[in-house]
Every structure is written in C-alpha cells, then in structure tokens.
Structure 1
Amino acid sequence: MNWLTNYIRPKIRALVSSSRPETPDNLWTKCGNCEAMLFHRDLEANLYVCQHCGHHMRLAPAKRLAMLFDDGKYETIELPKPVVDPLRFRDTKRYTDRLKDFQAKTGRHDALVVAHGKMGGRDTVVAVFDFDFLAGTMGTAVGEGLVAAAKLAVMQHAPLVVVPASGGARMQEGILSLMQMPRSVIAVEQVKDAGLPYIVVLTDPTTGGVTASFAMLGDVHIAERGAQIGFAGARVIEETIRETLPEGFQRAEYLLDHGMVDVVVVRKELRETLIRTLGHLAGGTQTPADDIVVDPADIAAAAVIEGEPAYRA
C-alpha cells in the first residue's frame, strides 16, 4: 500500500474540491447564428436576442407572456384535455410515452398556453405556442386550446393575439390533427364576427398546417426578425420544382417584401407595436357588445383558472 498515493492524495483532492466554489453550467449560451458566447444575464436583458448579430432565439411561453402583458401580470386558463392517443400510435416509442416525456420536460399538458390580462391597459387574450413541446405541433389539444382562446376573447370582448411557433400538424394524431385546421379557422371567424381584432405574431418557425390555417388569417401579421415562415420546407420545395430558391426564402423579411407579412419587428419593439396596432384596430373605449351571445357554460367548461370556473353566469 502506498501511503502517499492512497491516503494523502485523496485527502488533498477532497480538501481542494470542497473549498472550490461550484460554477453553474448555464452561465453562457452560444448563438445559433454567429456562434458568439453570450452571458446569460445580458441575453435575458436583451430578450434572448443576440447582441452581436441580432439573431432572435426561441422564447419560452412564460417569458413571452411576461414580456407582452402590462407589468408582466397575466392569468393562464386551464385548457380542455381531449382523449389521449386516440389512434394508439407508435413509432420508435408509444405516443403516450412521448407525451409524458414532454409533459415532464416542459411542465405543461401540451404545446399551447392561453392567458389573458392587460396589454396597454386593454383586456387582451394571448395564445402562445411552446416549440419545446413536440416542436409546437398542432394536435387535438392545441385545437381545443385555440377554440377556448376564441371563446374567452368573445366573452371578454377582447382582442385575440396568437403567437405560433410550430412545426405544423402532429403526425401522431393523423387525420384528427388535420381536422384542427378547419376548427381553428372557425374559431378565428367567431372572433372576427364579434367585431374583435385578431392579430398573429409569427415567430421562428411557423410552418406546415399552422401556416395553412389560422396563422395566415390575421387582421394584421407581425413577424419577428428572421423568423422562418412557410408551409413545406425549402429543401422539399427545391426538390419538387428543381430550382434553386432565392436567398432568404421563407424568412420574415422576404415575406414582407412579397406581401405575406405586414410588418417585421425586433423583439424589443414587439409589445409597443402590438399595443399601437390594437389601438388602431379596436379604437375607442372597451365596452361589451350587446349583440354578442355567449353561453357561460361553454366558457366554464373550456376555460378554468387555477381550478376554479373562470366565469360564472
């Protein structure tokens, strides 16, 4: 037995390691565009936009909602829970197991968060997608959530703002996922029939069935700088038409030049742009419309806040 090697050296290592302060492993983030290393406090203060190249990183729903609502105050609603895995789908693993994994990872039931609060002093309903939950894909739960958001907007006589970040329809739910496209369109029409503004904030990425439905039906389309917006992927399009696509194809600035987007903003200007746009569209003071008939039972079933009915008759 070597006394120095087996006894003294471990004691010295334990003493040094115990006295050394632990360094968090999330202090720095690499920009996905320019690969610059960004200090986490600077990145958070800049709303997760790279200070070097202006690349807009994906934003978690909670941070997005806190950024948009007055003083960061809002209330979320509990969304309806449809039947899980109606097709009993399985690829490399069961769909139910995949859902449980993402529910544990994100802490939410599915890929949509619906909240309401004041934006510029005006009651506003906001539906935000979480790309971290199965790439923000739209299944029956998301469809139910969009319907609930529309009902809540009509009930409150408030504008509806939707912030998609999605890979499109959810393949694990097959035709049931595709059925959420017309359902979301009908929900949007209910908001518009009530004479309420409907605004879409296009973030990176907005693709597939989401783009082909409610995401392109806004009264105004606002896009974050550099966001990818389209239906099929650029590589699929190039292989289909056998042509090279123009530079910047499917990016927000390209779509602005070609009339599919109304305005492109940097993230720090998004809230003020939304408030100003809502002011132009809604105008005047916010008063309930006499001709809007809402069944409170429908809202109570579709929107529950913190375990209690959101609205009572």
Structure 2
Amino acid sequence: MKKEVIRLPIFLDIFKEHPIPSFGLSSGNRRKSFFFANPIQFSKFGAMNSSLQKIGRFLKNTAFRLLRIAGILIVIYISMVFYLALTERRNAFPRAIYHKEANEAIQGKAKALTCILEDGTVLNGFTLGNENDPVMLYFPEADEDAAQFLAQVDSLPGTNIVAFNYRGSAQNKGTPSEDTFENDAKQITECAAQVNGHAPQTLVGRGMGAISAINQHTNHEQIILIDPIFDIADAIHQKYGFLYPKFLIRTNFKVSTDKLKKAQNNTTVLFDKKQFEERTKAEYSKLEGAKFFVRNGESLQKVLILSQKRNLF
C-alpha cells in the first residue's frame, strides 16, 4: 500500500523537493526534504541573507555620502581657485595703507618729496638726512608705507635716505599692476637722483621691493635686500600652496636673471622676520657671491650700517 504524499504548490516549493511525505519519510524515498529535515540550517541561511542585504545597503549609502562630500569639496576648491584667479592682481600688487604713527614719528626729521611720473601720477615720498650725502634709495614692500622704514631707521650717519610710496599706496592715486610697476621703479630711481644731482649709491629693497632694487642696479651700487622676493609667482604660490597652483598664476613680474648675476658681489641679504626665514634663505641661495646677515634683535639702523660696511670690502 502506497503512502499518501502531499505535493506543494510550485511557488512554495523553493527547494524543488516535492513530493513530500505527509507523515515522515519512507525508507524507499532517497530524496530528503531540506525544509523538514534541516530547519536550523534554513533559519541560518535566511539570517545570513538578511545581514548581507543590510551590509550592502550600508555600503551603498556610505558610498553615496562620500561622493556627496567629495563633490562639495571639489566645488569649494574650484570656487576658491576661481576667487584667487579673480583677485590675483590685488594679491600680487597690494596697496599700502597710510601708517599714521610712522608718519607722525618722522615729522620734523624727514622732508617731504614728490615724484611725478610720466602719466602725471604723483608719488609722495621722503628724504631723511643731509641731502648732500650719498643717497640710499629704499624700495618698500608692496603693502608697506615708506614712512615705516624711516621711523625704524631714524637716521644713518653719512647717508641720505630717500623713499617713495608706490602708485595707489599710502594716499597715492593710481592702481598698481605688472604693467606699471617696473616703469614706476625706474622713474622713482630718476627722482631719487634729483635730490642731490647724483644717482643713488645704495639700493635697498624689502620683499618684492628687492625685485626693483636688483632691476635698477647698474654696475657700482651697493644692494641690501631685506627678506627678498625674486619672483611674484613663487611668492603667491608659497602663500596659497595647492589652493592656487603656480601654472594658473599669470603675473610674471620677477627679477632680471642678468641683473641678479651682476649684482650678487655687491649684495647683502638681510634676514629680518622669522616668518620669512625659509623664503629668505631660498632666495639667498641664488646669489653665490652675496653676503648674509641676520638681524637677530638688533636695531635696523645698526644692521644697515654693518651691511654698508660689508659691501665696501
């Protein structure tokens, strides 16, 4: 007598194991039902499948979050690069703010000067010392009021210090740019020569003013460079790093290579501010015959006197 078997509907028979005996398994039936014979294994399989689905959803959501964050960071980075590109001229040629305290400090000591450029722009400046003494022409940092240098130095024996503020700086009119900066420096040098009828014997430049000091050098002038910059593009890139890659920088204002080679034997590099130590040493390495002087807390007046003496030997 055959045992009665129950056949599951095809949509319930997920393991293809029907027919299934209604009361146990016959000894003659070698096909065993996984569902009835292995209920524990079946529950484990279901739990594992559920865990894998949760892990998959977690990884998918995490990937989407990371992509969103990466997208936001890329947009921010591109925006910053775009902003720096738009403001490059202002970063390369910043304007000096009128320094009230420094101007008050040199009142009664320095005499006011003016230098009228070819386009009619008037630059204000100063002369400090006996006008018959040899002229030391100072090219300030782009964002420095020339009065600040004179206030720090106070005076130099046997030297007439002359300094002018740049176009657009310290109450001067105009807009500084790469197109005007070099030509303005040349005319400033000519104005300094008119103070006593002789060309400056010493050229001093701080920061990017060092570019003008080197480029206006002829053959015999002594040169003193304070925390110098030789290439504006390098300075901008060092300031902003990966935020503004150098290949995007359009400004090409830099020191003349030929002038740099000719001037190195008459040049002293003065390391003044700690924040520019790395830059100063890097620029000094480009001057094989130049001398190096560390201010190290000494007065600016003293180190300039020592620098002048060193350049005489």
TM-score by shorter chain over 0.5: no
In the superposition, the TM-score normalised over structure 1's length comes to 0.35
Larger Rg: 2
TM-score with structure 2 setting the length: 0.35
